Amino acid sequence: MASEYDAMWQGLGLDLAAHDQLLQVLGDGYGQIFLSQQERPQGMEYFNFVMSEVHGLRIKELVDGQAEGKKVIGSFCVFVPEEIVRAADATLVGLCTGADFATDLVDQILPRNTCALIKSAFGFKLGKVCPYMESADMIVGENTCDGKKKSYETLGGLVPNLYVMDLPQVKSKEGRALLAAEYQRFKQAVEELTGIKITAERLAMGIKIVNDKREALHRLYKLRAVDPAPISGLDALLINQVSFYDDPVRFTASVHKICDELEERIKAGQGVAPKGTPRLLFSGCPMAVPNWKVPWIVESSGAVVVGEESCVGERGTRNLVQPQGDDLDSMMEAIVERYWQIDCAVFTPNPEREEHVKQMAADYGAKGVIHYGLQFCQPYQMEALPLEKKLEATGLPVLRVETDYSMEDVEQLKTRVEAFLEMLA
């Protein structure tokens, strides 16, 4: 089907036929999962629009910006500090993807037992269907889990602009020093890419933009603590997902707008599901667009999701950057401090994550936790069992789900979720 963006997509090197196919599947899935929900807040119309234009208008904005000299940086991880990118007038976009694509090609270069998130990024590259990856001036790969760090060696042969960021795996003095050194190196690389010297003034502006975005999301999270829940977990997840693509200032304003509406709903006692609907928390691997499978199963089985502990959720947005001074060093130090607190399962040991899950469950009144693990994701699978035991010891039941991006296990998952909900009743 011809689109006004065909020339732009072609210019980026996309395979138009394959890309059309992807957009068709995405649009159908979105309609079925999101647009069929009852009692959606009106403010979701903005996010519907963003999703309908996620490969169109948003890419045009990025490409138009590039024509004016602005750069686009793609990332696979919430450890890449957006503050530094914004300080150089560049845009950070998420490159993780939540759907299988070109799997036959991926299987030729990655082991089959690689997690779906990594395979998906490669599939979108090999299938030539990701305008974010194709428009990025720099792609940042980060040394986190073994799958990602080793796959970047292969990705380096597929893209001309891969920058690898080393990251610590132990929260030691040495680990923190490595993070600080890597953020300095990244700052320098961004300066070289953009030709812009990052001054204290510029970094303060970058910090403010990103802090504002996170504060808006924090406001949204707090409103979900109310029973009846004023917004579905699916819609809240979508807002989190959109935060990786949208213009941050516009996104922040749109989140506040929907929060205003949710406050009105709360005053009126209006929710997306009746008061007393079982409330669940998601914990585990990140869910990138269009990975909506398990939350969709959960919410269409009669529960409401009230929080996401993952990186597309509070692990990615918890804490603000709070500099102690207005010089460059203080700001860089505050950035390190903020990101140092991320409790990704690649850290060993990683006790903070358990505390965060418990805290979130208490704050949002969750009666159970769904631990979402992608097949072949060792860090989160390894943490799942001990975490489950510790949570259950405190009276918080856990349903451990291990899945991928295929739809083959939908019925089986539905049966398990329904049994879990019955047990909670």
Give the one residue of 285, 287, 298, 303 binding ligand BJ8; rule: CB under 6 A.
Answer: 285
Q: CB–CB of 367/279 below 8 Å?
A: yes
Quote the CA–CA distance of 340 and 346 in Å, as a whole number: 13
Quote the CA–CA distance of 283 and 295 in Å, as a whole number: 11
Give the one residue of 95, 115, 304, 396 binding ligand BJ8; rule: CB under 6 A.
Answer: 115
Give the one residue of 123, 206, 286, 290 binding ligand BJ8; rule: CB under 6 A.
Answer: 286
Smallest distance, ligand BJ8 to C-beta of residue 189, A: 19
Q: Which string of b and e fits 381-418 if b means at least 16 CB within 10 Å?
A: bebbeebbebbeeeebebbbbbbbbeeebeeebbebbe
Give the one residue of 99, 314, 379, 402 binding ligand BJ8; rule: CB under 6 A.
Answer: 379
Of 18 and 164, the one with the shorter C-beta distance to ligand BJ8 is: 164
Of 244 and 420, the one with the shorter C-beta distance to ligand BJ8 is: 244
Beta strands in 45-123 (DSSP E): 72-75, 91-94
Smallest distance, ligand BJ8 to C-beta of residue 380, A: 5
By CB under 6 A, tell whether 85 contacts ligand BJ8: no
Give the one residue of 239, 262, 370, 374 binding ligand BJ8; rule: CB under 6 A.
Answer: 374
Q: Say which residues have a Cβ less than 8 Å from residue 62's Cβ, sequence separation at least 6.
A: 72, 91, 93, 132, 135
User: Assign residue 13 a region: left if phi > 0, alpha if psi is -120 to 50, beta otherwise?
Assistant: left
Smallest distance, ligand BJ8 to C-beta of residue 35, A: 28
Smallest distance, ligand BJ8 to C-beta of residue 355, A: 17
Query: Which of these segments, 72-80, 85-93, 274-282, 296-304, binds ligand BJ8 (CB under 6 A)?
Result: 72-80
By CB under 6 A, tell whether 384 contacts ligand BJ8: no
By CB under 6 A, tell whether 79 contacts ligand BJ8: yes
Of 227 and 388, the one with the shorter C-beta distance to ligand BJ8 is: 388
By CB under 6 A, tell whether 77 contacts ligand BJ8: yes
Short-list 170, 206, 168, CA closest to 187: 206
By CB under 6 A, tell whether 229 contacts ligand BJ8: no
Short-list 372, 376, 356, CA closest to 420: 372
Please provide residue 171's backbone torsions phi and psi, each rounded to the nearest 5 degrees. Answer: -85, 70
Of 246 and 314, the one with the shorter C-beta distance to ligand BJ8 is: 314
Smallest distance, ligand BJ8 to C-beta of residue 256, A: 25
Quote the CA–CA distance of 263 and 257 in Å, as a whole number: 10
Give the one residue of 118, 210, 303, 396 binding ligand BJ8; rule: CB under 6 A.
Answer: 118
For residue 74, the SS3 value is strand
Task: Fill in the per-residue mask, 321 to 360: x = in contact with ligand BJ8 (CB under 6 A), - = not in contact.
Answer: ---------------------x-x-x--------------
Helix (H) or strand (E) holding 219: helix 200-223
By CB under 6 A, tell whether 136 contacts ligand BJ8: no
Give the one residue of 33, 50, 78, 234 binding ligand BJ8; rule: CB under 6 A.
Answer: 78
By CB under 6 A, tell whether 144 contacts ligand BJ8: yes
User: Can you count the helices (H) and strands (E) in the chain?
Assistant: 19, 8
Q: Could you tell me whether strands 279-284 and 162-166 are parallel, antiparallel, or unpaired per DSSP bridges?
A: unpaired
Give the one residue of 23, 88, 90, 145 binding ligand BJ8; rule: CB under 6 A.
Answer: 145
The sheet with strand 279-284 has its strands ordered as 304-308, 279-284, 368-374, 398-403
| C-alpha distances in Å from residue 269, one per residue of 230, 274, 370 | 8, 10, 27
Binding-site ranges for ligand BJ8 (CB under 6 A): 77-79, 115, 117-118, 144-145, 147-148, 285-286, 311, 342, 344, 346, 374, 377, 379-380
